[in-house]
Amino acid sequence: MLGLVKKDLLLTVSNAKSLIIIFVLYFFMAFYGEFDVSIIPSILGVMLVISTFSYDYQSKWDSYASTFPKGRKYVPLAKYIATFILMLGLTIITLIFSLLITYIKHEPFEVTTLLSMVVASLASFIFEAIMYPIIFKFGVEKARIAIFVFVFAFIFLINFLVMQTNMLSNLSPILTFIGNYYYIVLPLIGILALVISYIISVKIYMKKEF
């Protein structure tokens, strides 16, 4: 399984040239205050992970990987672990960048930057948790449409519930609780979402034919 994780990380490193360009661009935008540095890891993380799925799709990797020893069940697990490592790495790099910016600008480093970075990463975990089973089910090409439909339906549903029901006022104690303890609640939600997502992905992947 370590080999499978390595494969995704090596794919990302092989893609480093475009990664560096995007990073430098974001860095300058953040430096001139045009961009919130805290969302860099989540945006880049999602982009990079999607690109590993695209490379897999182009080379029909899943057929090949499902013949590896110990069977195919480790392929989705490796993707989740690689995502986690990638996000962690990007968060650390962004943190260093962020410190660098504050140092150059002679500004104090805000702890809230770190916290919002963690929150943004966890939000992307939730997005990935939704996205991965869809990609494993439909493939990366068809999944783009499926994700769009899913996100649209989700927003519509939430909007409908908020407008037509008293959901928001009913949920306000919960929202207040999340607001107060977001640094504990959000990581838990993120991890829980990934675990549930992984269980669904494995079930899909084990039945899938390539």
Taking the complex as a whole, how short is the minimal distance between the CB of residue 73 and another protein, in angstroms? 10
Is there binding between residue 10 and another protein (CB under 8 A)?
yes
Query: Which one among 28, 152, 154, 210 touches another protein, defined by CB under 8 A?
Result: 210
Q: How far apart are CA 96 and CA 99, in angstroms?
A: 5
Choose one: 60-68, 79-87, 93-101, 138-146; the region binding another protein (CB under 8 A). 60-68
Length of the chain in terms of residues written: 210
Largest CA distance in the chain: 57
Choose one: 37-45, 56-64, 145-153, 168-176; the region binding another protein (CB under 8 A). 56-64
Taking the complex as a whole, how short is the minimal distance between the CB of residue 54 and another protein, in angstroms? 9
Taking the complex as a whole, how short is the minimal distance between the CB of residue 9 and another protein, in angstroms? 10
Is there binding between residue 179 and another protein (CB under 8 A)?
no
Nearest alpha-carbon partner for 25 in 12, 13, 34 = 34
Residue 188 CA to its chain's centroid (Å): 15
Query: Which one among 31, 55, 138, 150 touches another protein, defined by CB under 8 A?
Result: 55
Choose one: 7-15, 19-27, 111-119, 156-164; the region binding another protein (CB under 8 A). 7-15
Query: Which one among 27, 61, 80, 198 touches another protein, defined by CB under 8 A?
Result: 61
Is there binding between residue 14 and another protein (CB under 8 A)?
yes
Is there binding between residue 202 and another protein (CB under 8 A)?
no
Is there binding between residue 22 and another protein (CB under 8 A)?
no
Is there binding between residue 11 and another protein (CB under 8 A)?
yes
Of 58 and 164, CB closest to another protein: 58
- Reduced 3-state DSSP string for the chain: CHHHHHHHHHHHHHCHHHHHHHHHHHHHHHHCCCCCHHHHHHHHHHHHHHHHHHHHHHCCHHHHHCCCCCCCCHHHHHHHHHHHHHHHHHHHHHHHHHHHHHHHCCCCCCHHHHHHHHHHHHHHHHHHHHHHHHHHHHHHHHHHHHHHHHHHHHHHHHHHHHHHCCHHHHHHHHHHHHHHCHHHHHHHHHHHHHHHHHHHHHHHHHHCCC
- List residues binding another protein (CB under 8 A): 2-4, 6-7, 10-11, 14-15, 52, 55-56, 58-61, 63-64, 66-72, 207, 209-210
